[in-house]
Amino acid sequence: MASEDQFLNIAHRGAGSRLGSRQLLPLTVNGNGTVSGIMTLPAGCWLHSVAIETPSAISGTPTSALVRVGISLAGQEIVADVDAKAQGHIAATIVAGFDAVAGLGNVTSLFLQAVTSGGTAPAGTINILVTSCCEESVQESAQPAAQQRSS
């Protein structure tokens, strides 16, 4: 049963409305290779957007620093190989075949990767911001988590 605050919140926003959720995962590249991270989302969320921010150009003049976001390790179901080696902001295009509303379904883990190649010892940080919309009851119980690992 909904508390009084939940009832008033639903009445104010409207039944079926969702709360926004944002998670940031910085991927730190150091040399040519792959850096991976996992972002946990509450089940039943809708994907809103993926933004990629490179605060300073990746040093070492790499040929590429490709960012991908998927529902499996090295997957590109959501964002496919966006080059983020230069300083700047990229509003990533979600892959056309991915249904942002139904596509996440019960998926609770997103896999994020940065793959650097070429140049001399590329180094730097690429930030990935994922925005989703979740049902209020799901959002309140969720404990968002993000972690990074290198391979």
Q: Which two tokens stand for residue 43?
A: 């089940």
Average pLDDT over residues 60-84: 95
Least confident of 3-12, 78-87, 97-106: 3-12
CA–CA distance, 11 with 28 (Å, rounded to integer)? 43
| The total number of structural domains that make up the chain | 1
Q: Which two tokens stand for residue 124?
A: 């730097």
Residue 13 has pLDDT above 70, yes or no: no
Average pLDDT over residues 20-37: 93
Residue 13: inside a domain, yes or no? no
Residue 6: inside a domain, yes or no? no
Q: Which two tokens stand for residue 74?
A: 């090295």
CA–CA distance, 103 with 45 (Å, rounded to integer)? 9
Average pLDDT over residues 37-58: 91
Q: Which residues, in sequence order, are CB contacts of 126 under 8 Å at separation 6+? A: 26, 27, 29, 52, 53, 54, 58, 65, 67, 84, 114
Residue 5: inside a domain, yes or no? no
Using CB atoms within 10 Å of the CB of residue 49, give its burial: 0 to 12 exposed, 13 to 18 middle, 19+ buried.
middle
- CATH code, 46: 2.60.120
CA–CA distance, 13 with 6 (Å, rounded to integer)? 10
Contact 33, 151 (CB under 8 A): yes
Its domain, for residue 73, covers 19-150
Q: Which pLDDT belongs to residue 4?
A: 67
To the question of pTM greater than 0.85 for the whole model, the response is: no
